[in-house]
Amino acid sequence: MIFWEIAKRNIRIHLLRSTLAMLGIVIGVVAIASMGILGNSLVLTVSDSLKTVGDSVIVTPHVGGTMGGFSGGAGGSSSLRITEQNFQQIKRASAPNVAIPILQTSDRMKLGVGSDDIVAAIYGLNPDDVPDLLKLKEGGYSRGNSGCLVGSTFATDHNVKVGSRIAIGTDGNKGTLRVTGIIEERGMAFDVSTDSAIVVTKDWFDETYNRDDYDKVVIKVKNLDDLPAVKTAIENQMNKRDKIVDVVDTRKTMETIFSAFGQITTFVSAIGGISMLVAGVSILNIMMMSVTERIKEIGIMRSIGAQRKEVMSMFLYEALILGVVGSLIGGAMSLLGGYAISSVLLKTTKYLFVYSSLIHIVYGMSFGIVISLICGIYPAWRAANLNPIDALRHE
């Protein structure tokens, strides 16, 4: 392994320029790995936020479609709604899965004597359906019409506790509700986003806002493999003649979102890859310098019996050492960088030490080594194919 030894020593005596070449690889690995880790952490963060709603089919009135069996109305956030008859059809089509009708509006409310009015979203749900949809972190579910649940952000922002009272409407003209429970944080959701909202009983909602229809229907599918079938069954049932409902499979939506995040991660990693290509050019440049400086040495080696492939291996070893050392340093720095970025941007490092994040360090390091080797091939080939006589004469 004398050629390995010569490669090592040549790097050592040209330590400064070797270090600069390695620095390029280090930057390239850090760029690729950090971007990959950040992208993956974002995907995992969103995935965690959405995982509670990945088991649903959501039915909403088709916007821009014919009115069909749907009612128009005032006082809510939408002018298209689902009637009780439509709901029963949806329920039959999605059986035996649970179909949950949801009412939605927003209104003014006051949280105590002397406090300012605020505006928040209000969801109306059948008390029997609430446990299927929402989990509580404190208190209990409302049974009577005078109780309500509040989202965790709502509770924190307005200092609301179990037992607090909320007056609905301007100056409380629509009645006062007592908080019976605080809902666990749900994050972004396709069905109901309750974190900054309150949840009341359907009866109270109907009575207060004079409603006998629904804004959407959420079907909780027990077996996730049945999601497409449930979606198809509802579409077949409801959109026979005209498209009157939009049916969304939340898992499919999540897959689309994750795919988009994946593409973003790939794109930003590719931008990191450009810095690696620049590093490769630097390696190529340094290897060409190394060959030029050592033409006579190559001529001596060839004249005393070194084969072309042995001369080639000597320069490839040099490129390999630069690539491996640069990639190892880059890998270690990526871990530190990933830790810092996760801590600062995502406020958590729990997504860093997982396979799908750490693999980006392996990708970055592998790319660094491969680029170094590729950029070492031409100088090594050139060295190996020098004419020994010309090389010996070189000064």
Partner 1 sequence: MDEHPVMVFKDVVKVYPLPSGDVTALDGINFKVGRGEFISIMGPSGSGKSTLLNLMGCLDTPTAGDIYISGTRTGDMSDKELTDLRRDRIGFIFQYFNLFPLLNIIENVTFPMMLKSQEAVDPEKGRAALRAVQLDDSLFTHTPTEVSGGQQQRVAVARALINDPDILLCDEPTGNLDSKTGAGIMELMSELNRKGTTIIMVTHDPNIAKYSHRTIRIADGRIVE
Interface residues with partner 1 (CB under 8 A) are: 1-2, 5-6, 9-10, 13, 296-297, 300-308, 310, 388-389, 392
* CB 298, min distance to partner 1, A: 11
CA distance from start to end of the chain = 28
Which tokens sit at 301? 């080696």
CB atoms within 10 A of CB 67: 13
| CB of 13 or CB of 113, closer to partner 1 | 13
Which residue reads 């070449």 in tokens?
21
Report whether 200 contacts 183 (CB < 8 A). Answer: no
Residue whose CB is less far from partner 1, 211 or 302? 302
> Closer to partner 1 at the Cβ: 44 or 312?
312
Asked if residues 365 and 331 have their Cβ atoms less than 8 Å apart, the reply is yes
**CB 303, min distance to partner 1, A:** 6
CA dihedral 8, 12, 17, 21 (to 10 degrees): 40
Q: Decide whether 1 or 119 has the Cβ nearer to partner 1.
A: 1
CA 353 – CA 367 distance, rounded (Å): 21
Of the pair 11, 200, the CB lying nearest partner 1 is at 11
Shortest distance in whole angstroms from residue 273 CB to partner 1? 34
Nearest distance, CB of residue 288 and partner 1, angstroms: 19
In whole angstroms, the minimum distance from the beta carbon of 377 to partner 1 comes to 19
Rounded to a whole number of angstroms, the minimum distance from the CB of residue 16 to partner 1 is: 17
For residues 273 and 314, what is the distance between their CA atoms, to the nearest angstrom? 27
Tokens of 115: 């406090």
CA 28 to CA 180: how far, in whole Å?
Answer: 55
Q: From the centroid of its chain, how far is CA 113?
A: 43
Which residues does 206 contact at the CB level (< 8 Å), separation at least 6?
A: 103, 124, 212
Instruction: Write the CB contacts of 59 (distance below 8 Å, at least 6 apart in sequence).
Output: 82, 90, 216, 217, 218, 219, 234, 238, 245, 246, 247, 248
Choice between 17 and 252, CB closer to partner 1: 17
Euclidean distance between CA atoms 279 and 80, whole angstroms: 58
**How near is the Cβ of 24 to partner 1 at its closest, in Å?**
24
CB of 71 within 8 A of CB of 213?
A: yes
Looking at residue 77, what DSSP letter applies? S
- What is the C-alpha to C-alpha distance for residues 3 and 313, in angstroms, rounded to an integer? 7
**Rounded least distance, CB 312 to partner 1, Å:** 13
**Nearer residue to partner 1 within complex by CB, 3 or 214:** 3
CB of 313 to partner 1, least distance (A): 11
CB of 1 to partner 1, least distance (A): 7
Q: Which is nearer to partner 1, 27 or 301 (CB)?
A: 301
Burial 95-134 (b: 16+ CB within 10 A, else e): eebbbbbbbbbebbbbbeeeeeeeebbbbbbebebbeebb
Between 82 and 386, CB nearer to partner 1: 386
Q: Which is nearer to partner 1, 2 or 63 (CB)?
A: 2
Q: In the complex, what is the shortest distance from the CB of residue 320 to partner 1, in angstroms, rounded to a whole number?
A: 17
For residues 346 and 41, the answer to whether their CB atoms sit within 8 Å is: yes
Closest CB to partner 1 among 348 and 387?
Answer: 387
